[in-house]
């Protein structure tokens, strides 16, 4: 479903990030420097990571991290076939929840590593509230252990009409994507949600600077999940997801609070999306 959403005219985010990464990969690689260990949160978008790998000078290795185990190892195997000389170690983990260390640290430390960089693409940081975003960046700083930075994709604040269209597309694909949460709860948690009794609602909250995805009950109803009953009034919603938008100034302040400094930002020609290099503060 999400791949279909990414192809929509209204949903600019994915294609714009790919464009920024591809057009600026050489400059990004120059700032990162040679002999870099590239670590990726949420791996698998080859259009995003491969231009960076291609541009890096003598990369020390690549560590993709993902929560989808089968996808992760299939992707790592495919990437290894494309880059046979690149050391690739896949890590099955939830980078937003788990404390983990880089694999084979002794082996990695024996390598000639000049820099460690975490690639965090997709504006996924926007799904986190501010305190969660700070916590993840602080965890990332600890993972880097005093050396390196983060290359992070961030969706920018813009005309609310553009944002509204991106999350309320004319084909209704985002609505289906959101309602699929209920379908998944039915399968995994023995629930009895009727998807026809809820509708997708995704307003932009300018005060907080975020799109809020909701599933709104069309009527008063009771739903069972794992044997527990939940009551919904007509118009009451399940707040299913957030997508926070940042200005470059906002991002710089977030970075400083988490132990980074914003060194460089790359934007598309319409100032819709940014790719940013955050460098660890000494």
pLDDT tens digits in sequence order for the chain, 282 residues long: 888 999 999 999 999 999 999 999 999 999 999 999 999 999 878 899 999 999 999 999 999 999 999 999 999 999 999 999 999 999 998 988 877 777 665 555 556 788 999 999 999 999 999 999 999 999 999 989 888 999 999 999 999 999 999 999 999 999 999 999 999 999 999 999 999 999 999 999 999 999 999 999 999 999 999 999 999 999 999 999 999 999 999 999 999 999 999 999 999 999 999 999 999 997
* pLDDT of the residue at 166: 96
Q: Is 164 exposed, middle or buried (0-12, 13-18, 19+ CB in 10 A)?
A: middle
- 87: domain CATH number? 3.40.50.150
Residues 180 and 227 in one domain: yes
Determine, yes or no, domain membership for 163. no
Residues 273 and 147 in one domain: yes
The number of domains in the chain is: 2
> What pTM value is reported for the model?
0.92
Determine, yes or no, domain membership for 227. yes
* pLDDT of the residue at 216: 98
Number of Cβ atoms within 10 Å of the Cβ of 187: 9
Determine, yes or no, domain membership for 166. no
Residues 128 and 261 in one domain: yes
Residues 95 and 222 in one domain: no
Residues 41 and 104 in one domain: yes
* pLDDT of the residue at 228: 97
Residues 137 and 224 in one domain: no
* pLDDT of the residue at 106: 52
* pLDDT of the residue at 43: 84
Determine, yes or no, domain membership for 106. yes
Residues 251 and 215 in one domain: no
* pLDDT of the residue at 44: 74
Rounded CA separation 205/212 (Å): 7
Determine, yes or no, domain membership for 167. no
Residues 7 and 141 in one domain: yes
Residues 235 and 251 in one domain: no
Determine, yes or no, domain membership for 89. yes
Residues 136 and 272 in one domain: yes
Rounded CA separation 202/13 (Å): 16
| Full residue range of the structural domain in which residue 194 is found | 172-242
Residues 13 and 102 in one domain: yes
Determine, yes or no, domain membership for 164. no
Determine, yes or no, domain membership for 141. yes
Residues 21 and 90 in one domain: yes
């Amino acid at each position: 479903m999400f791949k279909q959403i990414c192809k929509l005219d209204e949903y600019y985010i994915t294609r714009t990030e790919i464009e920024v990464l591809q057009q600026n990969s050489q400059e990004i690689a120059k700032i990162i420097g040679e002999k870099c260990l590239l670590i990726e949160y949420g791996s698998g978008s080859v259009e995003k990571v491969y231009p960076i790998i291609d541009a890096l000078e003598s990369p020390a290795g690549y560590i993709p991290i993902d929560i989808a185990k089968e996808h992760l190892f299939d992707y790592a195997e495919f990437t290894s076939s494309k880059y046979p000389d690149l050391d690739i170690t896949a890590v099955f983990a939830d980078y937003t929840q788990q404390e983990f260390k880089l694999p084979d640290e002794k082996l990695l430390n024996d390598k000639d590593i000049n820099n460690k960089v975490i690639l965090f693409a997709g504006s996924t940081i926007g799904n986190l509230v501010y305190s969660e975003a700070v916590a993840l960046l602080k965890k990332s700083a600890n993972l880097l252990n005093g050396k390196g930075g983060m290359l992070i994709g961030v969706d920018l604040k813009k005309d609310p009409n553009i944002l509204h269209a991106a999350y309320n597309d004319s084909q209704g694909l985002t609505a289906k994507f959101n309602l699929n949460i209920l379908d998944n709860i039915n399968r995994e948690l023995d629930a009895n949600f009727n998807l026809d009794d809820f509708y997708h609602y995704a307003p932009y909250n300018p005060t907080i600077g975020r799109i809020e995805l909701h599933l709104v009950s069309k009527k008063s109803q009771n739903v069972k999940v794992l044997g527990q009953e939940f009551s919904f009034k007509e118009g009451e919603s399940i707040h299913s997801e957030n997508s926070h938008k940042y200005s470059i100034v906002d991002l710089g302040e977030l970075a400083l609070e988490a132990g980074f400094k914003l060194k460089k930002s790359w934007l598309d020609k319409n100032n819709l999306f940014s790719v940013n290099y955050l460098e660890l503060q000494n």
